[in-house]
């Protein structure tokens, strides 16, 4: 972050980030903390979440971790209420948490596989947005993390793709409904991004995939996604709602 006028862009505001303890979520938390937001890290891994909160605090930021099970509506509601009690309000939300699936043929998964992915990747976003929108004042903003696979079909990951397409539908529909109320709702579609998630999934293939995945010929960094998220929440994006923004090195082009 080179521009000094950005340093206090979110001073006095609170941001909630699901899946905030690692990967893209961790980068979003770090970015908002540097810009002086109060950061609520929502994650099921509270050990890692509190370690991140401690690091951000040591760097001069304001951060706390809240345990959440995004497959459980009551857990989402409880965690959101705890954020409001801790910080006194909610101005921005980043719905980042998600699960992936191993590539399989369209006929191979069963209802259990469908329910496992959709409970987090789509229903969890829906429940999260419902809690966030009830708490958010005019001027607030929500950014949902979809995927490049939410823009195009991809063999072998039909359930994941369906859930990420669904996130885009939720984003657009809610954006239209809440625009008159002064709340902006957008989505980002990351391409291949370096994170513990992708490293565990692709292993030694990651570098090769990154080189062939997009015209830029390299893998994205979590901080690059976080920069786009922060911009969409900022006043620089004040006339943007219902937008679906690919951040994928040109892959979707």
What local confidence, expressed as pLDDT, does residue 101 receive?
Answer: 83
Domain ranges within the chain, ordered by starting residue: 9-247
Using CA atoms, how far residue 41 sits from 25, 32, 149, 161, in Å, is 8, 11, 26, 26
Using CA atoms, how far residue 172 sits from 40, 121, 146, 177, 232, in Å, is 25, 16, 12, 9, 15
pLDDT one-digit tens code per residue, 130-159: 999 999 999 999 999 999 999 999 999 999
8 A C-beta contact, residue 250 and residue 222? no
Average pLDDT, the chain: 95
Q: Give the Cα separation of 79 and 18 in Å (integer).
A: 10
What value does the mean pLDDT take over residues 70-97? 98
pLDDT one-digit tens code per residue, 87-145: 999 999 999 999 988 889 999 999 999 999 999 999 999 999 999 999 999 999 999 99
Q: Give the Cα separation of 210 and 214 in Å (integer).
A: 7
The total of other beta-carbon atoms located within 10 Å of residue 245's CB is 18
pLDDT one-digit tens code per residue, 173-212: 999 999 999 999 999 999 999 988 788 878 888 888 888 9
User: Running DSSP on this structure, what letter comes out for residue 106?
Assistant: T
Q: Which residues belong to the active site?
A: 160
Please give the CATH topology (third level) of the domain spanning 9-247: Rossmann fold (3.40.50)
């Amino acid at each position: 972050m080179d521009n000094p006028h950005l340093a206090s862009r979110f001073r006095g505001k609170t941001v909630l980030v699901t899946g905030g303890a690692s990967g893209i979520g961790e980068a979003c938390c770090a970015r908002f903390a540097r810009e002086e937001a109060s950061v609520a890290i929502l994650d099921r891994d509270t050990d890692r979440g509190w370690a991140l909160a401690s690091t951000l605090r040591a760097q001069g930021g304001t951060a706390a971790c809240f345990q959440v099970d995004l497959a459980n509506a009551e857990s989402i509601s409880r965690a959101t209420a705890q954020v409001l009690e801790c910080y006194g309000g909610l101005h921005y939300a980043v719905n980042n948490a998600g699960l992936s699936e191993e590539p399989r043929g369209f006929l191979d998964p069963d209802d259990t596989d469908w329910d496992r992915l959709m409970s987090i990747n789509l229903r969890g976003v829906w429940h999260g947005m419902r809690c966030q929108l009830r708490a958010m004042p005019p001027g607030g903003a929500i950014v949902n993390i979809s995927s490049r696979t939410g823009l195009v079909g991809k063999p072998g990951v039909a359930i994941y793709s369906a859930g990420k397409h669904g996130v885009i539908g939720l984003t657009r529909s809610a954006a239209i409904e809440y625009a008159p109320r002064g709340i902006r709702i957008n989505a980002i579609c990351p391409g291949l991004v370096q994170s513990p998630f992708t490293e565990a999934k692709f292993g030694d293939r990651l570098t090769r995939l990154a080189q062939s995945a997009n015209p830029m010929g390299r893998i994205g960094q979590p901080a690059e996604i976080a920069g786009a998220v922060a911009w969409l929440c900022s006043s620089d994006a004040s006339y943007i709602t219902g937008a679906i923004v690919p951040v994928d090195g040109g892959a979707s082009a």
